[in-house]
Amino acid sequence: MVNADREKTPARPSRRAVVAALGAVGSGVLFAVSRTGSASAAAPGLDDPAKKEIAMKLVSSAENSSLDWKAQYKYIEDIGDGRGYTAGIIGFCSGTGDMLDLVQLYTDRKPGNVLAKYLPALRRVNGTDSHAGLDPDYPGDWRKAAQDTAFQQAQNDERDRVYFNPAVARGRTDGLRALGQFIYYDALVMHGDGDDPTSFRNIRKRALRNAQPPAQGGSETTYLNAFLDARVWAMKQEEAHSDTSRVDTEQRVFLRKGNLDLNTPLDWKVYGDAYHIG
């Protein structure tokens, strides 16, 4: 299992601190914006069920070297990136606040669950790589919880609230189709949306220095290339990010082919491993 790209800035109060406005924009009928800024009917966005399933598989290929994203509910380990335990379908981390949010949501919905007793420890270790109060039983209890459909649903809901829905909303506002929305989603998964220079919002700002999105009259392809250039820059700021294949041999492959609607079949590579969705 390759996990080298699960890095997020340590000690961030909450890597999931996505601005609420991101989740509020972009509601309503999906549209595409041409180079002149006029709206037109479009293919389904990333929140179409079939497209969303593709997105989950694409992220899982990079995060877990597998297309079976649902097998990752039980995943947990410390990958030595300074963020404590990394776990679940989107890499919730004990050191960055989102794992705490997830376990709190699960406990709100199902008091007395097997992870509830770890909430005090999760609050204490937030912002650190410490396992204090979690070892030795936390990983085993996480795997037990992952058998509970209520915990699986909590993971799905936190993923959507903090990553998926904001990415789709911001993508729609920028006039991006399914591929662009996915490119935003993958960046949010890895970098979060804090104030540091390598966060999603600052990657986007860096891209905007060089190109305009369709909503501002720019070329969708040109803008997405600028965004991916900024993303690669951000990834290379940390040694653990140095493998940029999830951009180079995945997202750019789709972009070069002009597959802005993320239509199947899809063929790509991550870390040299080949994947296919028919």
Domain membership of residue 90 as a residue range: 20-277
Identify the pLDDT of residue 80. Answer: 86
Catalytic residue chosen out of the listed positions 7, 63, 158, 186: 63
Domain assignment of residue 197, yes or no: yes
Mark the ranges of the chain whose per-residue pLDDT is less than 70.
Answer: 1-42, 240-241
pLDDT of residue 46: 98
For 29-57, write each residue's pLDDT tens digit. Answer: 333 343 333 333 458 999 999 999 999 99
- Closest to 32 (Cα-Cα) out of 165, 214, 207: 214
For the question of residue 238 being annotated catalytic, the response is: no
Residue 6 inside a domain? The answer is no
Number of domains in the chain: 1
Please report the pLDDT score of residue 239 as a whole number: 74
pLDDT of residue 240: 67
Q: Does 220 reside within a domain?
A: yes
Does the residue 5 lie in any domain? no
Is residue 10 included in any domain, yes or no?
Answer: no
pLDDT of residue 109: 98
Long-range contacts of 271-275 (CB under 8 A, 24+ apart): 271/2, 271/4, 271/65, 271/243, 271/245, 272/245, 273/61, 273/65, 275/57, 275/61, 275/67
Specify the CATH number for the domain of residue 80.
1.20.141.10
With respect to residue 180, please indicate whether it lies within any of the assigned structural domains. Answer: yes
Q: pLDDT for 51-84, tens place per residue? A: 999 999 999 999 899 999 999 999 999 988 888 9
The pTM of this model reads 0.85
| 81 noted as active-site residue | yes
Task: Please identify which of the residues 5, 7, 78, 81 carries the catalytic annotation.
Answer: 81
- pLDDT for position 2: 34
Contact between 95 and 125 under an 8 Å Cβ cutoff? The reply is: yes
In a domain, 4, yes or no: no
